[in-house]
Amino acid sequence: KILILDFGSQVTQLIARRIREQQVYCELHPFDVGEAFIREFNPQGIILSGGPNSVYEAEEWRAPQVVFELGVPVLGICYGMQTMAQQLGGKVESSGKREFGYAEIRARGHSKLFQGIEDRKNAEGHGLLDVWMSHGDKVTGLPEGFRVIASNESCPIAAMADETRKFYAVQFHPEVTHTLKGKDMFARFVHDICACGHDWNMPDYVDEAIAKVRAQVGSEEVILGLSGGVDSSVVAALLHRAIGDQLTCVFVDNGLLRLNEAEQVMQTFARNLGVKVIHVDATAQFMGHLAGVSDPEQKRKIIGREFVEVFQAEAKKLPNAKWLAQGTIYPDVIESAGSKTKKAHTIKSHHNVGGLPETLKLKLLEPLRELFKDEVRELGLALGLPHEMVYRHPFPGPGLGVRILGEVKKEFADLLRRADAIFIDELRAADWYGKTSQAFAVFLPVKSVGVMGDGRTYEYVVALRAVQTQDFMTAHWAELPHALLGKVSNRIINEVRGINRVVYDISGKPPATIEWE
Ligand code: XMP
């Protein structure tokens, strides 16, 4: 296993992602976790991440000296390279200007790190690599025992190595996909240099995770808020496998779910898997509190608050429950060294369960804490959840509450659910569902005129939204085929009485957001 020490770079998480991709287990911790922890962790290799500081300004931002004393390979990336150089007696200086973006470097000599890796050759037959640089400082003097293993004009020491001690360092970022051969470099490091095996795989992980849950909860009971989303569904399947009837799920129908969602959740979990699920239909309660409210943030607050109410009331009926399970995943919990003040244990706010563990005096069980989203999906499949459920688009906690503009009414939710289901059906049929990151219909509470048969209609409008994105921070509207849009529009207008107009949203994020509220 590999230990990654985080110096606060924006992309440190990607290092962990790249290591896991090599089927090697790794953990990411702040650079100052302490010597005892590092010894205890007993890594086969250590990676020092990038970070925003300058080694000559931030003196406390150093790798614990033990990193270089354990006798295990070390890979320094960007700031990690600079601090390695500084700590081992080399020299680091400001470049004068920031170097940011693609760079071509030339591999030099034979290093284990770049063995057999090149994007192309130059005229003299030297291997060239396309890498991603982002730095203001650079190493200008090698520490003793090191030699240059890659360089270019603006960065003569673009990578360095002391192959005897197995210390390697690169000024560029191999963890970002812009460094085309980054994946191969990590393979060299973890497999060839650190001698890690390929032993992080899903089937083994399933057994490990089950054993861990059993050890943690013993014979105590656990409650889980099951939403039908990917994370809570995978937690439900995992816990059911691990502790069977000690798990009780609470599924709250707030009246703002997608068409047949409650039905599907009950089918998948209660009937097919035999999970204990309490299905609470709280539609009337939610609609009652939402009546007359049209401010989006206000609506979100009400929906969140009512969820806590309902969930708490159910939980109180289970006095034996000692644990509250949550679908927190790795990106939610990684501590950022960037702030220096360690972030408190985060609870996913959009799960609307903030504050629950305290008031209910429950211990928190988070079996997905170590996993990235795609690993959660893989785990879901390994546990036998349907592909369709595991690869579902994200759905906001407040559900259709933020997709019905203005005041939420049950009548609007019913229309929207049907329109949305038609859109999703047709996307799946046309093989576009998987090519979009999120797609849904939005209800616009404005009426426009239409003709139907001999008469005029005066009915509501539905907007279709489909986006493509990596991280949901920015997004492009999906260029769906016109024929597909036409079919969806026809079906909605013909099948959903009350809607006579369908429009397609062609706004990017930014400046628009993905949701309409
Ligand atoms: P926006 O609309 O901000 O959405 O571009 C980005 C992503 O966040 C989701 N989203 C929410 N999820 N509670 C949630 O759980 C919310 O209140 C909420 N608002 C937006 C949105 O669906 C998209 O995936």
- The per-residue pLDDT for 473 is 83
Low-confidence ranges of the chain (pLDDT < 50): 335-353
Is the CB–ligand 1 distance for residue 514 below 6 Å?
Answer: yes
Is the CB–ligand 1 distance for residue 438 below 6 Å?
Answer: yes
> Which residues are designated catalytic?
78, 173, 175
Q: CA angle, 184 as apex, 179 and 186 as ends, to 5°?
A: 90
Task: Tell me the C-alpha distance between 158 and 141, whole Å.
Answer: 12
Residue 352 Cα: closest atom of ligand 1: 15
Q: What is the pLDDT of residues 16-72, one digit of tens each?
A: 889 988 999 998 899 999 999 999 999 999 999 999 999 988 889 999 999 999 999
Task: Tell me the C-alpha distance between 481 and 382, whole Å.
Answer: 34
Instruction: List the structure tokens of 136.
Output: 């203001």
Half-sphere exposure in the Cβ direction for 99 (13 Å, CA): 21
Q: Give the distance (Å) from ligand 1 centre to CA of residue 338.
A: 25
Give the SS3 label for residue 64.
coil
- The per-residue pLDDT for 340 is 36
Is the CB–ligand 1 distance for residue 373 below 6 Å?
Answer: no
Asked if residues 108 and 148 have their Cβ atoms less than 8 Å apart, the reply is yes
Is the CB–ligand 1 distance for residue 509 below 6 Å?
Answer: yes
- The per-residue pLDDT for 334 is 54
Give the SS3 label for residue 238.
helix
Residue closest via CA to ligand 1's atom 10 equals 396
Is the CB–ligand 1 distance for residue 233 below 6 Å?
Answer: no
Task: Tell me the C-alpha distance between 416 and 403, whole Å.
Answer: 8
- Decide: residue 287, CB within 10 A, 0-12 exposed, 13-18 middle, 19+ buried: middle
Q: What is the pLDDT of residues 237-280, one digit of tens each?
A: 999 999 999 999 999 999 999 999 999 999 999 999 999 999 99
Is the CB–ligand 1 distance for residue 398 below 6 Å?
Answer: yes
Question: Residue 452: beta bridge partners?
Answer: 455
Q: Give the distance (Å) from ligand 1 centre to CA of residue 8.
A: 26
Alpha-carbon torsion angle 388, 392, 395, 400, nearest 10: -40
Q: Give the distance (Å) from ligand 1 centre to CA of residue 467.
A: 13
Is the CB–ligand 1 distance for residue 515 below 6 Å?
Answer: yes
Nearest Cα residue to 230 out of 424, 467, 439, 391? 391
**Domains along the sequence of the chain with CATH:** 2-193 (3.40.50.880), 202-390 (3.40.50.620), 408-504 (3.30.300.10)
Residue 351 Cα: closest atom of ligand 1: 15
Beta sheet of 167-170, edge-to-edge order = 26-30, 2-6, 45-48, 74-77, 167-170, 159-162, 147-151, 91-107, 127-141, 120-121
348, 395, 477, 514: residue to mutate for ligand 1 pocket, most atoms within 8 A of CB: 514
Nearest Cα residue to 479 out of 421, 448, 428, 439? 439
- The per-residue pLDDT for 99 is 83
Give the SS3 label for residue 380.
helix
Backbone region of residue 453 per phi and psi (left: phi > 0; alpha: psi in -120 to 50; beta: other values): left
Q: What is the ipTM of this complex?
A: 0.98
Q: Give the distance (Å) from ligand 1 centre to CA of residue 342.
A: 26
